[in-house]
Amino acid sequence: MRVRPGYKVTDIGEFPQDWELVSLGKVAHFINGYPFSPSEWKSRGLPIIRIQNLNDPEAEFNYFDGNIEDRYIVSDGDLLLSWSASLGVYVWRGGKAVLNQHIFKVVPEGFVDKSYLYFAAQRSIQDLRKRVHGSTMRHFKKQELDSTLVPVPPIQEQQKIASVLSTADDAIQKTDEIIAKAQQLKKGLMQQLLAKGIGHTKFKQTEIGEIPEECECRKVGEVCEVIMGQSPPGNSYNDIGVGLPLLNGPTEFGETTPIPVQWTSQPTKTCCSNDVLLCVRGNTTGRINTADREYCIGRGVAAIRAKSGKTDSRFIKYVFQRLEPRILQVAFGAGSTFPNINRDETSSLPIPVPPLAEQLKISEIVSGVDEKTARERTRRQHLSRLKNGLMQVLLTGKVRVKVD
% residues pLDDT > 90 (the chain)? 76
What is the dihedral sign for C-alpha 198, 203, 204, 205?
positive
- Give the pairing type, strands 301-306 and 224-228: antiparallel
Q: What is the pLDDT of residue 144?
A: 76
Residues 226-269 pLDDT 10s: 999 999 999 999 999 999 999 988 889 998 999 999 999 999 99
Residues 379-402 pLDDT 10s: 999 999 999 999 999 999 999 998
Distance of alpha carbon 232 from alpha carbon 230, whole angstroms:
6
Comparing CA positions, the residue from 90, 117, 102 lying closest to residue 48 is 102
Residues 20-74 pLDDT 10s: 999 988 999 999 999 999 999 998 999 999 999 998 878 899 999 999 999 999 9
Q: How confident is the model at residue 358 (pLDDT cuts 50, 70, 90)?
A: very high
Q: Which of 36-45, 92-101, 123-132 has the lowest mean pLDDT?
A: 123-132
**For residue 201, how many other CB atoms are within 10 A of its CB?**
6
pTM: 0.84
Distance of alpha carbon 225 from alpha carbon 307, whole angstroms:
7
Q: Tell me the CA distances in angstroms from 349 to 187, 218, 250, 327, one per residue in order.
A: 21, 8, 22, 8
Which regions of 198-341 does DSSP assign to beta strands (E)?
A: 203-206, 209-212, 216-219, 224-228, 237-238, 244-247, 263-264, 270-271, 276-279, 288-290, 295-297, 301-306
Q: Which of 8-22, 91-105, 117-131, 290-304 has the lowest mean pLDDT?
A: 117-131
Q: How deeply is 357 buried, as exposed, middle or buried, from its count of CB atoms within 10 A (0-12, 13-18, 19+)?
A: exposed
Q: What is the pLDDT of residue 100?
A: 94
Which residues lie across from 7 on neighbouring strands? 16
Q: What is the pLDDT of residue 132?
A: 60
Q: Which of 162-176, 261-275, 285-299, 328-342 has the lowest mean pLDDT?
A: 328-342
Q: What's the whole-number mean pLDDT along residues 310-322?
A: 94
Residues 268-277 pLDDT 10s: 999 999 999 9
Task: Look over the chain and give the mean of its residue pLDDT values, rounded to a whole number.
Answer: 91
Contacts 24+ apart (CB under 8 A), 141-144: 142/25, 142/30, 142/32, 142/83, 143/25
| pLDDT over threshold 50, residue 336 | yes
Q: How confident is the model at residue 135 (pLDDT cuts 50, 70, 90)?
A: very low
**For residue 390, how many other CB atoms are within 10 A of its CB?**
17
CA angle 172, 14, 141 (to 5 degrees): 70
| pLDDT over threshold 50, residue 153 | yes
Q: What's the whole-number mean pLDDT along residues 95-120?
A: 95
Which regions of 347-404 does DSSP assign to beta strands (E)?
A: 350-353
**Can you list the domains of the chain with their CATH numbers?**
7-152 (3.90.220.20), 154-199+355-404 (1.10.287.1120), 216-353 (3.90.220.20)
Q: How deeply is 317 buried, as exposed, middle or buried, from its count of CB atoms within 10 A (0-12, 13-18, 19+)?
A: buried
Q: What is the pLDDT of residue 212?
A: 96
% residues pLDDT > 70 (the chain)? 96
Q: What is the pLDDT of residue 1?
A: 60
